[in-house]
Amino acid sequence: MLRERAHLADLDKVRQDVMDEFEIVLGQMPYVGGAASRMSDFFMRLLGFMAIGRVLRRHGVALPIIGDIERESYKAQLLTVPEAERLASGRQFMSRENQSLLREQAAKSLANEYPEDFVYDFVEPGPGDSFEFGIDYKACGFCKFAARHGDKEILPHICGLDFEAYATRGIRLERTQTLAGGASHCNFRFSRPETK
């Protein structure tokens, strides 16, 4: 994709640029609670794509192509995990036990202990809703990071990776708005495809 879509010839140079930028990004990554926070892992995994986006922008690659490259490479990475393992992870995420944990974590997030972290509410389905549960992110660590470090134009591509992350685990994500897009919150709604 780097050769065909982005028209980059010196892939070794691009790889090295990305690794160098990744070191910078890791140094910029805020502390949001370490292993005690479910969001630390998201930060570490997805900030790498911020490094890729920065490097490709410097090489003059158009934003839609950066989005395609990031999405396809993330999906390829996710699919290296055996399907049975991915689907088991999805079932665990959708489980009543995990929903209970998410409720607790959402309540804790409201204390805003770490200013660069995510703040969110757990959303129960109402009458007529077709989702099993939801999360409304009222503050986003990636939005804060992007605003601080000048990455707002590549931020929507990071948001787009969510769909691949859940789909590869057998989870249907519906989201009609994001903080990055100017909304008051990101409205994640989760269901299993067979429940639709």
DSSP 105-164: HHHHHTT-SSTTS-EEEEE---TT---SEEEEEEE-HHHHHHHHHT-TTTHHHHHHHHHH
Best CA proximity match to 46, nearest among 189, 156, 192, 172: 156
CA distance 136 to 151: 23
How many alpha carbons fall within 13 Å on the CB side of residue 159?
24
Choose between 20 and 1: higher pLDDT.
20
pLDDT at 195: 43
pLDDT digits (tens, 9 = 90+) for 25-83: 999 999 888 888 878 888 888 889 999 999 999 999 999 999 999 999 999 999 999 99
Of the two residues 1 and 94, the one the predictor is more confident about is: 94
* Model pLDDT, residue 153: 93
Three-state secondary structure call for residue 187: strand
What pLDDT, on a 0 to 100 scale, did the predictor assign at position 42?
80
Look-up: residue for tokens 């009609």? 176
Tokens 């269901």 belong to residue: 191
Q: Average pLDDT, whole number, for the chain?
A: 93
Q: Is residue 196 pLDDT above 50, yes or no?
A: no
Instruction: For 130-186, write each residue's pLDDT tens digit.
Output: 999 999 999 999 999 999 999 999 999 899 999 999 999 999 999 999 999 999 999
